[in-house]
Amino acid sequence: MSKLLEVRGLTKRFGGVTAVSDISYDVGAGEIIAVIGPNGAGKTTLFNMISCFLSPTNGEVYFKGNKLTGQKIPQLAHLGISRTFQNLQIFHNLTVLENVMMGAHVKLKTNVVNAAFRLPRILKDERIAYDLALDAIHLVGLEELMFEQAGQLSYGLQKQLEFARAIVYKPDLIMLDEPMAGLNDYETNRMADYIKKLKSEGSSFLFVEHKMATVMELADRIIVLDFGKKIAEGTPDEIQQNAKVIAAYLGEEVV
Amino acid sequence: MSKLEKILYGNRLKPILFLVGLILILPLVVKSPYIFTILILIGIYSIVSLGLCLLIGYAGQISLGHAAFFGIGAYTSGVLTTSFELSPWIALTIGMVTTFFIAYIIGIPILKLKGHFLALATLGINIIFYILILGLNQLTGGAAGLIGIPSLSLFGVPLTDKLFFYFFVWTAAVLVLLLSLNIVRSHVGRVLRSIHDSEIATETLGVKVENYKVAIFALSAAFASLAGSMYAHYITFVAPPTFYITKSILFLIMVMVGGASSVWGAILGTTVIMFLNEIIRFVGHTYFGISGEVEIVVYGLIIILIMMFLPKGLIHVISKPIQKLKPKKKVSVKAHKDMISQKGV
């Protein structure tokens, strides 16, 4: 399997605290990788370093063989990486449709000048964005709410909206930061279905999650962090049997 | 207008026709030259508030320094036409281009600031400009101001006649309105509103947020400069107090009162504030014997009341009942369902 994302020795120190220490792993094309670990294990820090929100103290990330570390955030979408946020970042004052249309930005060539003079390109772009957005809205089943303001939606629906916005332009790698957090069982299952459906269409996923049942169901491979270190990597079955993982989650027996 | 445009942004033809009709009819009704002067000034200030509306209402970036850009236009026109005897049209164009680039260069560092830090930085621009025009005596005439700025003339016809100038100003205002509407009713409009809501999410979608913010800042400055040049050629006299911070605040109030989230609000707000201005002066002068700038006291009160009770501005009061009259949502959902079935999704 070809390597899509390569993480090589990522380390992050905040003053004297080492939040993430020397972590390496790969994400192959069409794979779903989950990163799990107890609270404070450094999952989100790792996530933010891969998506260029934080610069690592040491180590590099490569995407399709090119160095990703040090890129500007907007560049990532152009390379084919999209992400969602743990604390939802949707556009509250835009409608659901407009939110999802924003996700098509990398496919468009509209700028302030050609918009001001309404050149033909604008109308073509509107059409492209609208068509792509409709497909994504159709996937997550938000058609009925297309013209509602996104801020009016319930938390679960906003989460689906953010997901739809992230997948509009059919990125190669989709990074989800706790996609199931705060969702009820029904919504969790639906989100898992979307992820499986997109995987079957060739997308890769890297996600951080706390709900173990979903992680075990979805992930091809799991990476377990504890105190900033990678303590295990393997298939869901292997991880469930791993003594170190059990110790990290449940604590060790004091002899 | 395409079907898709209607679904996304609603109709824009009717309000434009209404405005143009109003502009054409008003000279027939209004005979008082005093009111006519106010109408001309509304046209000039609308150009500024339209640009400011794009910046504040759409992109969510505040500016308390647009009087400086207004002033750069006015002084460029004033100085170039009096001291260098250039054609007013060339002076106006030079003013706009210069202001655009000045704002662009200033915008790159200061638009990294957010919220009240940005407000203070733009306030600083206004103060620097004010001190410069006071200090550069030989060029700007200092505190005494510049006199004898020539009027504009179009195809050999001097626009000294109020009616001509009125039509000229409002043609420019409608053109600026159309440009603004084009921007707002496109992907760029969505990008700007997204920046307003969440910059970080906008960036992850691949938008170079900095570029958009700086471009809109420079564009709104260029609009202000255009208005400033017109102002200079209309009044034929410019002096520093016109371009002080109080004017920047006045522009801000116009946008806020009208409703920052709609370009129509900018024109409405400008109109309301300009007439209110005259009423306050009249009432203050005749009934209370107050002279001087009393209106600023009332503006303070107005902005508090608007922020408390009408945060979306006066335009919301007008547009909401109109939207309620039309069963817009049902039609739209049906329309999009038709489109989906056409696509075979």
Residues 6+ apart with CB under 8 A from B247: B67, B70
Taking the mean position of all CA atoms in its chain, how far away is CA B233? 18
Q: Do residue B216 and residue A112 have CB atoms under 8 angstroms apart?
A: yes
Residues of A in contact with B196 (CB under 8 A): 93
d(CA A163, CA A136): 9
Amino acid B339: pLDDT: 59
Q: Do residue B201 and residue A85 have CB atoms under 8 angstroms apart?
A: yes
A36-77 pLDDT per residue, tens:
888 888 888 999 999 999 899 989 999 988 888 888 999 999
d(CA B295, CA B305): 15
Please report the residues numbered 141 through 200 in chain A whose beta carbons come closer than 8 angstroms to any beta carbon of chain B.
143-144, 146-147, 165
A121 touches chain B (CB under 8 A): no
CA A255 to chain B, closest CA, distance in angstroms equals 49
The length of chain A is 255
DSSP string, A34-70: EEE-STTSSHHHHHHHHTTSS--SEEEEEETTEE-TT
Amino acid B208: pLDDT: 92
Cβ-Cβ pairs closer than 8 A, A with B, add up to 128
What b/e readout covers B33-62, taking b as 16+ CB neighbours within 10 angstroms? eeebbbbbbbbbbbbbbbbbbbbbbbbbbb
Its ipTM equals 0.89
Amino acid at B276: L
The pairing of beta strand B153-154 with beta strand B146-147? unpaired
Residue closest to B5 by CA, chosen among B177, B175, B182, B259: B182
B217 half-sphere exposure, CB direction, 13 A CA radius: 26
Amino acid at B64: L
A57 touches chain B (CB under 8 A): no
Q: Do residue A89 and residue B201 have CB atoms under 8 angstroms apart?
A: yes
A124 touches chain B (CB under 8 A): no
Q: What is the pLDDT along chain B (345 residues), one digit of tens a residue?
A: 577 777 788 778 888 999 999 999 998 888 888 888 999 999 999 999 999 999 999 999 999 999 999 999 999 999 999 888 888 899 999 999 999 999 999 999 999 998 889 999 999 999 999 999 999 988 888 888 888 888 887 777 777 788 888 999 999 999 999 999 999 999 999 999 999 999 999 999 999 999 999 999 999 999 999 999 999 999 989 999 999 998 999 999 999 999 888 899 999 999 999 998 888 888 888 888 777 777 778 888 888 888 888 888 888 888 877 777 665 555 455 566 565 555 543
Amino acid A254: pLDDT: 67
Q: Which of B187, B263, B330, B343 to mutate to test the interface with A (most CBs of A within 10 A)?
A: B187
State which residue of chain A sits closest to B343, comparing Cα positions. A131
DSSP string, B202-217: HHHTT--HHHHHHHHH
Amino acid at B39: L
d(CA B1, CA B5): 7
Q: Which of B190, B214, B332 to mutate to test the interface with A (most CBs of A within 10 A)?
A: B190
What SS3 class is residue A223?
strand
Q: Do residue B188 and residue A74 have CB atoms under 8 angstroms apart?
A: no
Contact B52, B62 (CB under 8 A): no
Residues of B in contact with A98 (CB under 8 A): 8, 190, 193
Q: What is the pLDDT along chain A (255 residues), one digit of tens a residue?
A: 578 899 999 999 988 888 888 889 999 888 999 998 888 888 889 999 999 998 999 899 999 888 888 889 999 999 999 999 988 899 999 999 999 999 999 888 888 888 888 888 888 888 889 989 998 998 888 888 889 899 999 998 999 999 999 999 989 999 999 888 888 888 899 899 999 999 998 899 999 988 888 888 899 999 998 888 888 888 988 888 888 888 887 777 666
Sign of the C-alpha dihedral, residues B273, B278, B283, B289?
positive
Residues of A in contact with B330 (CB under 8 A): none
Residues of A in contact with B343 (CB under 8 A): 131, 134
Q: Do residue B202 and residue A102 have CB atoms under 8 angstroms apart?
A: yes
What SS3 class is residue A226?
strand
d(CA B81, CA B278): 31
Comparing CB atoms, the residue among B2, B190, B339 nearest residue A102 is B190
Comparing CB atoms, the residue among B8, B206, B340 nearest residue A105 is B206
* Domain ranges within chain B, ordered by starting residue: 3-344
Q: Dihedral, CA atoms, B325, B330, B336, B342, nearest 10 degrees?
A: -120
pTM of the model: 0.90
d(CA B283, CA B285): 5
The length of chain B is 345
What does R_g of chain A's alpha carbons equal in angstroms?
A: 19
Amino acid B6: pLDDT: 78
Amino acid B201: pLDDT: 93
Burial of A19 (0-12, 13-18, 19+ CB in 10 A): buried
> Strand order of the sheet with strand A58-63?
A17-28, A3-14, A58-63, A66-67
Residue closest to A81 by CA, chosen among A198, A247, A254, A205: A205
CA B244 to chain A, closest CA, distance in angstroms equals 30
Q: Domain B3-344 carries which CATH code?
A: 1.10.3470
Amino acid A70: pLDDT: 87
Q: Do residue A82 and residue B205 have CB atoms under 8 angstroms apart?
A: yes
Amino acid B345: pLDDT: 39
State which residue of chain B sits closest to A113, comparing Cα positions. B183
